[in-house]
A = this chain, B = another copy of it.
Amino acid sequence: MISINGGVCAAKGFMAASYAAEIRKKGRDDMAMIFSKEPCTVAGTFTSNVVKAAPVMWDKNIVSSGKPVHAVVVNSGIANACTGKEGMDACKAEAKCVAEHFGDTFSAESVLVASTGVIGMQLPVDKMLNAISEMIPLLESDEAHATSASKAIMTTDTVNKEFAVEFELDGKKVHIGGMTKGSGMIHPRMCTMLCFLTTDVAISKELLQKALSEDIVDTFNMISVDGDTSTNDTCVILANGTAGNKEIIDDDEDFETFRSALHQVNATLATRMAADGEGASHLFTAKVVGARNKDQARTLARSVVSSTLTKAAIYGRDANWGRILCAMGYSGAQFDPEKVDLYFVNDIGKIAVYKQGVPLDFDEDFAAEILGYQEVTALIEMNEGVETATAWGCDLTHEYVDINAEYRT
């Protein structure tokens, strides 16, 4: 398996485009589209928030119907959440507009829609339908268009996030690519922020969904920026089968290869989201090892990267490990604090700060040096078993407060 360029266009048969619809701001593309002429098998996971945005409800219906999908239309600026019937009508109008432009060779129910931005505002539908008409002729299947699309879906993100891999299945070269956005309101549960994955692998809908659902538990569901689970979280994968491999219909070796490739794409995109958390100056990773079971490991790791106080300490380069132990303690997971060992580790070095119930004397200057580096991992040895889990987050900075105190204005 090798990583390649091309994002959502890395897989054969996928095209992308972007356009400036001026939804809330001028001077930037704020709509994107992914298209496959071949019908795609689709799998998806969506927010567990009781308050679901209109596009989440639209897409969930399509994914559960089992119908093939041809396109995804995405906008940034407005989230189309808490918008009632008018919001649902907007989704339908977008999808219908796409279908019409392709001469109704597929139905509106073959078009997914997604939105991100301010909650509680209505979309400017006329502007957007016009943008869709202008965007469709711009569709191309190259790296530049994939990158433009990944930039158009950004909100407070400071960098676009795309990734793709190439690997072999059944003697054929196959691909998985993806783009994602997300910087604030990131604390995915059962799903993630907006993430669009494409693959040319032929695979059954059932196994596509299984691969996605199971991988997300250890990737997108293990990142947190601010503990706020969005109303719009959406992760979908479109598989158009154009690579020509024998369709994956069993949980066999080919399926394992596909899962492992999908995991690399998801894990890469997830860590990039955490590193680009709103206002972040550090990618902060919690790695739990020696746990008694997987659930315990995941719960502990995620609680640590979600702790407001720990995040503030990481920002201050303060090796205040007591906050890490405190966050483990209120996570809901049971464990024996007297067995835990705690380290800070990264490319600069590794330092032990707590061992089996006892605080260690450590070199504060060296600890500050380690914490000064842009990536730092809290390594947590539970000494209770063999399971591991990793969670990714970022620090809490003044810039986070700046960004979110006046997000709408």
Contacts and interface: CB of A to CB of B under 8 A. Distances in A.
B50 A309 contact: no
A120 B354 CA distance: 9
A2 interface: no
A51 interface: yes
Interface in A311-339: 312-313, 315-316, 318, 320-323, 325-331, 333-335, 337-338
A326 B226 CA distance: 13
A407 to B, nearest CB: 6
Interface string A80-110: 0111111000000000000000000000000
Nearest to A368: B409
B228 A307 contact: yes
A206 to B, nearest CB: 29
Nearest to A184: B309
A372 interface: no
Contacts of A326: 49, 51, 81, 119, 185, 228-231
A407 B49 contact: no
A352 to B, nearest CB: 13
A121 interface: yes
A330 B122 contact: no
Interface string A287-319: 000000000000000000011110011011010
A124 interface: no
Contact of A119 (B51, B325, B397, B407): B325
Contacts of A308: 226-228, 308, 404
Contacts of A358: 83-84, 86
A79 to B, nearest CB: 7
A408 interface: yes
A231 B326 CA distance: 6
A182 to B, nearest CB: 13
Contacts of A328: 50-51
Interface string A347-367: 000000110011100000000
A189 interface: yes
Nearest to A233: B330
Contacts of A82: 322, 325, 337, 354, 357, 359
Contacts of A333: 50
Given A50-B328, A401-B396, A401-B401, A322 B228 contact: no
Given A185-B326, A227-B308, A318-B408, 17 more contacts: A48-B330, A50-B330, A50-B331, A51-B325, A81-B322, A81-B326, A82-B359, A119-B322, A120-B321, A120-B353, A185-B323, A229-B330, A312-B400, A315-B401, A315-B405, A316-B406, A318-B406
Listed from nearest, the 6 A-B pairs whose CB atoms lie closest are A119-B322, A316-B405, A51-B329, A312-B404, A229-B330, A120-B322
